[in-house]
């Protein structure tokens, strides 16, 4: 049994784990791998490289990244359309490193074509699963599953590719994806990649303005959407937000609509096309494009501290190299595994899961809707029903499910579970231990990973053959020369510092789309020729790594990164608002909640009705999950002499903390106008 504030250590290879109860602290080792956990793929790789200890492997892979990436990708068996001539070229500096120079590669050739009869040469360390093997298990909120095989997924992806070609989409053109988590969304991703079009996935919960900003920045030529989706038992219209975005996108030629509920309205002839007409009737016989290794595969958007989202640029070979490494080594995906990460196509983990699971020939579970609807046992029931081997979920979702009560999870043994995963935000000890004990029954390690959209991969991650402490992320990701440093860039241990990376890796973004200087300013201005990630981290005395949140202004709400500038730009659209500031504050469920401070225009009056109106405005424009917890009206906002709003100072004042150095604040008296959370 699980008792709040205590820990359970399991003998992992016992038929039914024996549980030992003792006080839990962050310094305790709660997981020591035994049995099959010592026979995983990463152990096989170590044996073939004659490396006997996992710490030695991590250290060597950081010191000699050239060795690691060459050896690891050869082991994983990436299928090259043309082998590369040079592993990497950093002649223009770390920030502009090119990988796999001279090589040609397509993700679809590896993830779909490879598995079909007569396609690709079989590699010793990964199977060819065949056309009849399950690729996708999709479950709607009503619990009815739909299964797609590798053959079906390949056919539908090819039809998407053919439809795009017929509409004039060529290699390098951008295609937006604004769809719920249904099987067709996987086909759209792979259909784009098959012909070399650049996929631009966007979270379907975002509002029209957020979608428009991303599509305009990417220069999307075609947008895939659906008439509607399902959320908490209700049919939610999706196309109206797509229409709002499309109306402000003169370069967008077509909107392809998956008709699910007959909800499509305001049909624009010539622009709007039905999936059933253009995709389902398309010719599935189309060749997979031969692409340069550095050809862009996806533009993935992540928000910064200004109003404009950042478009990160990921290549075919770079993204696949990193994803194959992580799903193969950290998550040990096998061909008979069922892998379920509760995520969305619009977040990095969606494409990451789709590409990684199919590369290794596994079966992915995808789900539409909320993890706690129709009941709080939805996730646990799905794990049991589909015999899920790996479950990935955010700390926020675990906090929500835990709050529903232990009885919902105790009904299920979930014996199929072998690994559990998490990412997106730091853990609290109680929720982590609940996940470990109640969900994993103290017999599964938590592969707690962290990296980012900018990497479509991890800087730090555990491996299944590592011991683990509560909330730890294990250590550096394989092939990643990461460190924790002080303000001067000196390595520190057993103290909180900045997470950095000293060497390039294949999947690091190739700048920001259309904004090279912002890319340099974001990652390379603090420590020249060193990647500054913007996270607080710590390596304890035993070598275990931990994270402590963002060191920049970026807000993470339920694991979703949001730039305060995006929120502020929505608020100032309102006819009553002169200026605004947005901050993230601790939230018991979401990790962070959004709090806004608003200065009104002369003659406008603050009221609870206006605060509610502004909350609804943000929900409409950016998505309901991002609605603020509170909106406060103030007469002025504290700023620097150059006019920059000092959000960090506002946040500290609001939380009742020492506001810190105020030497750069021009109007210090305005801080007295900021309420504290306790009195607000």
More confident residue, 24 or 496: 496
Check residue 663 and give its pLDDT: 57
Do residues 359 and 320 lie in contact, with contact meaning Cβ atoms separated by under 8 Å?
Answer: yes
Check residue 640 and give its pLDDT: 64
Mind listing the pLDDT tens digit for each residue in 540-560?
Answer: 999 999 998 777 677 888 777
Pairing verdict, β 419-422 and 446-448 = parallel
Residue 589, pLDDT > 60, answer yes
What average pLDDT score do residues 55-79 get? 97
DSSP for 459-499, please give it.
EEE--TTS-B-TT---EEPTT--EEEE-TTS-B-SSS-EEE
What global pTM score does this model have?
0.84
Domain coordinates of the chain in residue numbers? 141-283+297-336+343-360, 555-673
Check residue 3 and give its pLDDT: 27
For residue 260, the SS3 value is coil
User: Poorest-confidence range of 247-256, 384-393, 593-602?
Assistant: 593-602
For residue 277, the SS3 value is helix
Check residue 283 and give its pLDDT: 97
Check residue 680 and give its pLDDT: 61
Do residues 421 and 331 lie in contact, with contact meaning Cβ atoms separated by under 8 Å?
Answer: yes
H helices within 112-265, ranges in order?
Answer: 150-166, 183-195, 208-218, 239-247
Mind listing the pLDDT tens digit for each residue in 211-238?
Answer: 999 999 999 999 999 999 888 888 889 9
Residue 11, pLDDT > 70, answer no
Check residue 131 and give its pLDDT: 96
Mind listing the pLDDT tens digit for each residue in 137-177?
Answer: 999 988 889 999 999 999 999 999 999 999 999 999 999 99
Give the C-alpha separation, 341 to 422, whole Å.
9
User: Poorest-confidence range of 7-16, 340-349, 362-371, 481-490?
Assistant: 7-16
pLDDT band at 126; cut points 50, 70, 90 = very high
Give the C-alpha separation, 641 to 645, whole Å.
10
Check residue 290 and give its pLDDT: 98
**What single DSSP character describes residue 292?**
B
Check residue 247 and give its pLDDT: 95
H helices within 17-123, ranges in order?
Answer: 41-48, 54-63, 65-76, 107-111
pLDDT band at 571; cut points 50, 70, 90 = very high
Identify the residue whose tokens are 């404009």.
308
φ/ψ (deg, to 5) at 210: -65, -40
Check residue 4 and give its pLDDT: 27
Q: Provide the edge-to-edge strand list for the sheet that holds 254-258.
A: 272-274, 254-258, 220-226, 174-178, 198-201, 296-302, 310-315
Do residues 495 and 471 lie in contact, with contact meaning Cβ atoms separated by under 8 Å?
Answer: no
What radius of gyration, in Å, describes the C-alpha atoms of the chain? Answer: 24
Which residues sit opposite 176 in a β-bridge?
200, 223
Residue 529, pLDDT > 80, answer yes
What average pLDDT score do residues 404-432 get? 91
Identify the CATH homologous superfamily for domain 555-673: ANL, C-terminal domain (3.30.300.30)
261 closest CA partner among 218, 289, 230, 286: 230
* Beta-carbon contacts of residue 490 (< 8 Å; ≥ 6 apart): none
* Beta-carbon contacts of residue 387 (< 8 Å; ≥ 6 apart): 338, 416
Check residue 26 and give its pLDDT: 64
Check residue 506 and give its pLDDT: 98
Check residue 143 and give its pLDDT: 81
Mind listing the pLDDT tens digit for each residue in 265-317?
Answer: 789 999 999 999 999 999 999 999 999 999 999 999 986 444 578 899 999 99
Mind listing the pLDDT tens digit for each residue in 82-105?
Answer: 999 999 999 999 999 999 999 999
What average pLDDT score do residues 44-64 get? 96
Check residue 105 and give its pLDDT: 97
User: Poorest-confidence range of 175-184, 257-266, 348-357, 524-533?
Assistant: 257-266
Which residues sit opposite 451 in a β-bridge?
458
Give the C-alpha separation, 228 to 237, whole Å.
4
Ramachandran category for residue 232: left, alpha or beta (phi over 0 → left; psi -120 to 50 → alpha): left
Check residue 387 and give its pLDDT: 98
Percent of the chain with pLDDT over 70: 93
For the 141-283+297-336+343-360 domain, the top CATH level (class) is alpha beta
pLDDT band at 120; cut points 50, 70, 90 = low
Residue 198, pLDDT > 90, answer yes
């Amino acid at each position: 049994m699980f008792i709040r504030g205590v820990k359970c250590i399991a003998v992992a290879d016992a038929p039914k784990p024996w549980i030992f109860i003792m006080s839990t602290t962050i310094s305790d080792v709660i997981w020591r791998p035994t049995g099959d956990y010592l026979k995983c793929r990463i152990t096989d790789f170590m044996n073939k490289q004659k490396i006997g200890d996992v710490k030695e492997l991590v250290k060597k892979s950081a010191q000699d990244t050239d060795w690691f990436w060459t050896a690891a990708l050869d082991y994983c068996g990436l299928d090259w359309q043309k082998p590369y001539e040079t592993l990497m070229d950093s002649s223009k500096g770390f920030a502009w490193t090119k990988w796999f120079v001279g090589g040609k590669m397509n993700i679809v050739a590896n993830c779909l074509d490879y598995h079909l009869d007569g396609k690709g040469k079989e590699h010793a360390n990964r199977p060819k699963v065949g056309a009849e093997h399950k690729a996708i298990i999709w479950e709607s909120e009503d619990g009815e599953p739909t299964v797609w095989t590798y053959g079906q997924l390949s056919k539908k992806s090819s039809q998407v590719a053919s439809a795009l070609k017929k509409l004039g989409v060529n290699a390098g053109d951008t295609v937006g994806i604004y769809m719920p988590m249904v099987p067709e969304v996987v086909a759209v991703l792979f259909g784009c990649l098959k012909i070399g079009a650049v996929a631009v996935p966007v979270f379907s919960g975002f509002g029209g303005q957020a979608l428009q900003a991303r599509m305009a920045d990417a220069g999307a030529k075609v947008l895939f959407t659906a008439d509607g989706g399902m959320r908490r038992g209700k049919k939610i219209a999706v196309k109206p937000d797509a229409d709002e975005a499309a109306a402000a996108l003169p370069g967008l030629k077509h909107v392809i609509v998956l008709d699910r509920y007959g909800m499509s309205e305001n049909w624009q002839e010539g622009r709007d096309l039905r999936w059933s007409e253009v995709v389902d009737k398309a010719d599935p016989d189309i060749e997979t494009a031969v692409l340069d290794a550095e050809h862009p595969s996806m533009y993935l958007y992540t928000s910064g501290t200004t109003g404009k989202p950042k478009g990160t640029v990921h290549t075919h070979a770079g993204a696949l190299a990193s994803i194959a490494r992580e799903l193969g080594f950290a998550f040990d995906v096998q061909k008979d595994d069922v892998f379920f990460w509760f995520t969305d196509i619009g977040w990095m983990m969606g494409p990451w899961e789709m590409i990684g699971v199919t590369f290794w020939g596994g079966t992915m579970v995808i789900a539409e809707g909320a993890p706690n609807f129709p009941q709080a046992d939805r996730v646990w029931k799905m794990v049991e029903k589909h015999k899920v081997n790996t479950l990935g979920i955010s700390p926020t979702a675990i906090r929500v499910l835990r709050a529903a009560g232990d009885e919902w999870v105790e009904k299920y043994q979930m014996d199929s579970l072998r690994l559990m995963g998490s990412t997106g935000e730091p853990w609290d000890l109680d929720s982590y231990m609940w996940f470990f004990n109640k969900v994993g029954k103290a017999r599964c390690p938590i592969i707690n990973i962290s990296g980012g959209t900018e990497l479509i991969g991890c800087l730090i991650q555990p491996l299944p053959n590592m011991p683990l402490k509560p909330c730890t992320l294990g250590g550096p990701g394989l092939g990643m020369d990461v460190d924790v440093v002080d303000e001067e860039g000196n390595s520190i241990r057993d103290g909180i510092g900045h997470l950095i990376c000293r060497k390039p890796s294949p999947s690091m973004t190739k700048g920001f789309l259309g904004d090279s200087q912002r890319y340099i300013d974001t990652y390379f201005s603090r420590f020249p020729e060193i990647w500054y990630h913007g996270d607080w981290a710590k390596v304890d005395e035993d070598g275990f790594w931990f994270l402590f949140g963002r060191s920049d202004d970026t807000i993470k709400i339920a694991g979703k990164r949001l730039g305060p500038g995006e929120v502020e730009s929505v608020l100032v659209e309102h006819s009553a608002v002169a200026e605004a500031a947005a901050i993230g504050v601790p939230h018991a469920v979401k990790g962070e909640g959004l709090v806004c401070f608003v200065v009104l225009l002369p003659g406008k009056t603050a009221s609870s009705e206006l605060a509610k109106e502004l909350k609804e405005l943000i929900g409409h424009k950016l998505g309901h999950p991002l609605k603020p917890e509170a909106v406060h009206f103030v007469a002025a906002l504290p700023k620097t002499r150059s006019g920059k709003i000092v959000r960090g100072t506002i946040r500290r004042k609001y939380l009742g903390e020492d506001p810190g150095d105020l030497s750069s604040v021009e109007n210090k008296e305005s801080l007295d106008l900021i309420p504290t959370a306790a009195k607000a």
